[in-house]
Amino acid sequence: MRNWRAGLAAGMMALLAGTSVFAADLPGKFPGVTIDAKLIGGQQYEPLYARITEWEKATGAKVNILSKKNHFELDKEIKSDMASGSISWCVGSNHSSFAPQYPDLYTDLGKLLPKEEIGQFVDSTIQASTIDGRLVMLPRAQFDVSALYYQKSLYKDDAKKKAFKDKYGYDLAPPKTWKEVSDQATFFANPPNFFGTQFPGKEEAINGRFYEMLVAEGGEYLGKDGKPAFNSEAGVRALDWFVNMYKAKAVPAGTTNYLWDDLGAGFASGSVALDLDWPGWATYFNDPKSSKVAGNVGVVVQPAGSSGKHTGWSGHHGFSVTESCAHKDAAASLVWFLTNDDSQKLEAANGTLPTRKTVWEWDIQKAASDPYKKEVLSTFQEAMKYAFPVPRTPQWIEISNVVYPELQAAILGDKSSKQALDAAAQKATDVLKDAGAL
């Protein structure tokens, strides 16, 4: 009852103040308030979280971080909270791929923050963060589309260049197509000490990589009728790419257990030639304190498939405020603080792509005197041209959860690609039928 009354009071205050709670003053003052939060974890996120103490000093409030997990584990925890009716926390990490499945969990930030502040974000990210007319999250400096990192020294070795041309009939250069990635990854691989490439092998991560390869091969994940359409010839070609890389031992044997942090650590260890990965790793890869390939990193636009289309699975991270939060005003202030100009400059300096317009301008100016940063930024600006989101269905994550074990089965050789995709399509169809989407 106490929490209900507190929530009602907070709601009435917001109503009386109008739709822009902080129009006059951000971040505001909230002495004695504690905001419980569940956040995505990982080394690349820690510099931003270190800023939380600044918000606490400015507002008089405290932040209690209940969880720091990768987004797949965080998603499971959030769904468990929803199922048990125990949403007692206020701020949560969110992502454009995950957001559609939480239709009633998060509040409309458009009613809590000034319109002029929301207007500072890149319009497309605000649109992608808006579901059924409600702004359910503020985008952080984490717009994600993957480009191809590579070890530059491999392409300067005269002996390798000659051997490669003798074998494949064309010059060794950073790849522009996924066929070239296949050739080069196989050529460079020397297991168990060195691998040509790598990919995540479980959860939504492998389903997303399969999805973008499917698009690059000219296929579609869901047809116009909303039914799974990935068990097609294009789908087989797409999945065969992963199967063939695994069979050729061009990727680490444990790849079916890998997620994003494993890939980042793998490329930074110097044991991987080519790595399709996110912009957030750029600074980490080129920092001698964290990476053995520092000073030896190049990056090119993600390759194209046989259809001529590039891979480009994309999305963005953000922060949301729960509908049940008793202190929505303070929670919205925290979310704003973690996505404001200073926070985005901090994250962008580490290689991520900003989602605020002025920070893009700042980032471009800053890159002018840093050749590596300039290369990264220009490459990812080009990569963004080919970006596309996941299918806009609330069942995307649930579908991923039933599809990825079938993808694994094909990669490990337990099923043919066609058998795995047919089984995955049936399971995905069942998910959509159970949800009433078919």
CATH 3.90.550.10 is the classification of domain 34-143+315-374: no
Say if 34-143+315-374 and 147-311+393-435 have the same CATH topology.
Answer: yes
pLDDT of residue 20: 44
Contacts of 245-250 spanning 24+ positions with Cβ under 8 A? 245/182, 245/185, 245/186, 245/196, 245/197, 245/199, 246/411, 246/412, 247/413, 248/185, 248/186, 248/189, 249/189, 249/191, 249/195, 250/182, 250/185, 250/186, 250/188, 250/189, 250/195, 250/196, 250/197
pTM for the full predicted model: 0.80
Residues of the chain with pLDDT under 70: 1-24
pLDDT of residue 69: 94
Per-domain residue ranges of the chain: 34-143+315-374, 147-311+393-435
The matching CATH number, chosen from 1.10.3720.10, 1.10.287.110, 3.40.190.10, 1.10.10.10, for 147-311+393-435 is 3.40.190.10
